[in-house]
Amino acid sequence: MSTKGGIGRRMFIKSLGAISILFATLDSSWSSFVSSLGVRTVEKDNFSFDSNTGKIYFKDHQIKEPYRLIVDGLVEKPLFITYSELKSMNPIEQTSDFHCVEGWSVSGIKWKGIRFIEIFNRVKPDKSSKYITFHSLGETRSKPKGQGHYIESFPLDALLDEKKQILLAFEMNGKPLTHDHGAPLRVISPFDLAYKSIKFVHRIEFDKKPRDGWWTIANPIYPYHAPVPKERLKI
């Protein structure tokens, strides 16, 4: 009996060890998957951003300059917001899922950033402003219909609707956004497919009309409105 009991205990301990290794491997794989989120991009790899200095480095010309978020279009007075100013605008944290157009999703990503109301309250938009176009840094590798940088458009009402949980994010999982994840600033729109979550945002333009985004222009099968299918959303 004691021998059988000893074998049982040893097998139990070995089983626990195997299970621990399995969970550690799964956790490591999941962390790697989350870390690789959004690394695919249509932009040329000719710029980078340093969150410590708040500066953009343009590789082609070997020039560094401070990042400034431009807010213009149909507004009374354009804004130029530095990276440090951006981070001080009543930042909030939220946990959201990320849904790729290719059918995969990542749950529970922690983002930090600001709501669009923080931008809206600092400008005086023209009453005719009904839409917002976000512009990305850098050139795209291709130029569909002459569109040489990534853009994405949202109704102003959607950006101001807290239920939509749209965030202008500068941190992911407790750290500043990396270049692959869209530094210095990206849009997070949890209930839209990921092509709406534009990366490398450097300009916010108030406009009268909507504009098809770069992804829609390049791939017309993907429409302006891109809600995540209900079956992919958590209840």
State whether 121 and 9 are in the same domain.
no
- Closest residue by Cα to residue 37 from 215, 233, 212, 175: 175
State whether 28 and 117 are in the same domain.
no
Domain membership flag for residue 57? no
Domain membership flag for residue 131? yes
- Closest residue by Cα to residue 106 from 23, 38, 10: 38
State whether 77 and 125 are in the same domain.
yes
pLDDT in tens, 15-64: 434 433 333 333 434 344 444 454 557 999 999 999 999 999 999 889 99
- Per the CB < 8 A criterion, the answer to whether 194 and 38 are in contact is yes
State whether 100 and 214 are in the same domain.
yes
* Phi, psi torsion values for 117, nearest 5 degrees: -60, -30
Domain membership flag for residue 29? yes
Residue partners of 91: CB distance under 8 A and separation at least 6: 112, 113, 114, 170
State whether 109 and 11 are in the same domain.
no
pTM: 0.83
- Percentage, residues of the chain above pLDDT 90: 74
Domain membership flag for residue 126? yes
**DSSP code of residue 103:** S
pLDDT in tens, 124-177: 999 999 999 999 998 999 999 999 999 999 999 999 999 999 999 999 999 999
Q: How many domains does the chain have?
A: 2
State whether 31 and 76 are in the same domain.
no
Q: How far apart are CA 207 and CA 116, in angstroms?
A: 15
Q: Give me the domain span that covers residue 7.
A: 1-35
Q: How far apart are CA 36 and CA 100, in angstroms?
A: 13
For residue 42, the tally of other CB atoms under 10 A from its CB is 18
State whether 121 and 21 are in the same domain.
no
Residue 129 maps to which CATH number?
3.90.420.10
Q: Can you give the C-alpha Rg of the chain in angstroms? A: 22
